[in-house]
Chains A and B, each alone.
Chain A
């Protein structure tokens, strides 16, 4: 890649939820703004914009990461998943999303997209998580509504349901 000039927009291309997407960005554009403004994917929320709150967490190349701490130009060529990629089909929720609804694990929903992306990744790699490990993992997210207890309950319930499903598969 040659030097990308500060004053121009440059073509950025990456895989988003299984599809190739592209758009133009100045080098200084954050991935959050690229997702929301350039691509119109507003499921990813912008909270603190300095990596503390976790609302903008997405999966980049298979790991949960802050979209607000990533430049769009850094994401060129990457594989990205956002909350829009969680539901298996229109009008159907994922097991984790369904558990969030059942346990009232969200109120205003602002932090939810980021927490879902983190937990979706965590449960895939830790099918039988302990509560303490989940608490530590969730420390990377701030929620000002729920007090976290329903989020933990939803995560543990989703993990149990996913284990059940894979045992029957």
Chain B
């Protein structure tokens, strides 16, 4: 398995990256850590004419708090965010989800923004971003804009990013007072793609549950003021409405059953963490 031919540009500045993207159009791809893109290249599922490497831009390497959100820039590796001393305090859901992303040997290179850009339906970081109602900061030569996670993921590995835009940062809202958070996932082996992944946020008014690995995009539902059997019924209805499919790893029916059971368990755990 070898990639098809492409040109390679190692951008030294953000302006250079924007210019190369504007020139390359939909034949250009940004490469950051490459942990999702390089397999796509090797399997020739992606055949860009030019790759633009943004890992040498000194400008995009920061993790910081901006307003009420954690802002993670494009060149921040998953392992760097996991090792950020403020992570657990600032956002326990992100701290709980990150160890599920690939393996230590891929988190060392893979970036947070790259996982969001790749938008794999079973990936943990897009799911977490959606559960928290985070946002994606896109920039191009012409403009800069923020897109809410709920509008960013548009289909299987498809996003609202335009061809001339790159993800400059993603913003995960910090923990809110009185909220509890939990993350669970089921896969055959640790580090495999999730068969079902659940991220839950509990508040005094109810719970929000986001599900990955089932439909083409991560999907979230708010369950306000529902408890007990009514919550089970609501979860049944949510699971039934997801566009689940049979594949090599699990049937659609099995995935829906996992959404009901694991989803409920994750919500309960988030409630327990509401202290």
Interface residues of A (CB under 8 A from B): 1, 3-7, 26-28, 30, 33, 49-51, 54, 57, 60, 63-66, 68-71, 73-74, 76, 118, 136-137, 139-141
Contact = CB atoms under 8 A, between A and B. Distances in A.
B5 A51 contact: no
Contacts of A28: 2-6, 41
B109 interface: yes
Contacts of B104: 64, 118, 136-137, 140
A129 to B, nearest CB: 12
Contacts of A71: 8, 31, 34, 38, 51
A63 B49 CA distance: 30
B108 A65 contact: yes
B34 A69 contact: yes
B47 to A, nearest CB: 10
B1 A51 contact: no
Interface string B1-35: 11111111110100000001000000000010011
Contacts of A63: 79, 108-109
Interface string B129-148: 00000000000000000000
B118 to A, nearest CB: 13
Contacts of B216: none
B191 A70 contact: no
B162 interface: no
B204 interface: no
B251 interface: no
Contact of A69 (B4, B49, B55, B106): B106
B55 A139 contact: no
Interface in B33-52: 34-35, 38-39, 41-43, 49-51
A51 B35 contact: yes
B7 A5 contact: yes
B192 to A, nearest CB: 9
Shortest 10 CB-CB contacts between residues of A and residues of B: A140-B103, A27-B8, A6-B5, A63-B108, A50-B39, A1-B10, A140-B105, A28-B3, A139-B190, A4-B8
Interface in B81-128: 99, 102-106, 108-109
B164 interface: no
Given A6-B6, A28-B4, A60 B109 contact: yes
A51 B105 CA distance: 9
B105 A136 contact: no
A65 B3 CA distance: 19
B7 A3 contact: yes
17 contacts: A1-B9, A1-B10, A3-B7, A4-B7, A4-B8, A6-B5, A6-B49, A27-B51, A50-B1, A51-B106, A57-B105, A65-B105, A65-B108, A69-B35, A74-B55, A139-B190, A140-B105
B4 to A, nearest CB: 7
Contacts of A33: 2
A73 to B, nearest CB: 5
Contacts of A76: 10
Contact of B5 (A1, A26, A57, A118): A26
A1 B10 CA distance: 6
A54 B6 CA distance: 26
Contact of A139 (B38, B53, B103): B103
Given A49-B42, A54-B105, A74 B191 contact: no
B105 A74 contact: no
Given A60-B108, A65-B106, 11 more contacts: A1-B12, A3-B50, A5-B7, A6-B6, A7-B5, A33-B2, A54-B103, A63-B79, A69-B35, A69-B39, A140-B104
